[in-house]
Amino acid sequence: MPFCPKCRTEYVEGTVLCSDCQIELIDELPPEDDVEMVNWQVLQELPDEVVGYVLKGVLEEAGIKVYIRPLMIPGYERIRASWFKSNWGDLLVPEENLEEAREIIDEYMSSLPDYEGE
């Protein structure tokens, strides 16, 4: 089947041009970018950077990839990237690890007697 190399639309046999991109179709699509496709999901809102890195360490120890997304706009530390959030940032994990990560965090949280979240 011919594909458009730009928008990756599949066309029926015999088509030579992509009707959207007006470019020549190719027989096979090149492989997707080597970058691993990760569907990041927000696991936990972070009150500050310290909590973020503590939780990151806990999860990475369990073999779960972690991505911390700060909500601060770089250079404007006092301005939040989102007016509707009062947290410092979000802790994201791959979708397939979401449940497991949540359990690990819950367990970790309950082991902290003076934790005052949720």
Where on the chain is the footprint of Zn ion (CB under 5 A)? 4, 6-7, 18, 20-21
Considering the complex, what minimum distance in angstroms separates the CB of residue 19 from Zn ion? 8
| Closer residue to Zn ion (CB): 7 or 50 | 7
Q: How far apart are CA 56 and CA 64, in angstroms?
A: 9
CB neighbourhood size of 74 (10 A): 7
Exposure letters 93-116 (e unless 16+ CB within 10 A, then b) = bbeebbeebeebbeebeeeeeeee
Considering the complex, what minimum distance in angstroms separates the CB of residue 34 from Zn ion? 22
| Closer residue to Zn ion (CB): 19 or 82 | 19
Paired tokens of 63: 């073999």
Considering the complex, what minimum distance in angstroms separates the CB of residue 5 from Zn ion? 8
| Closer residue to Zn ion (CB): 4 or 101 | 4
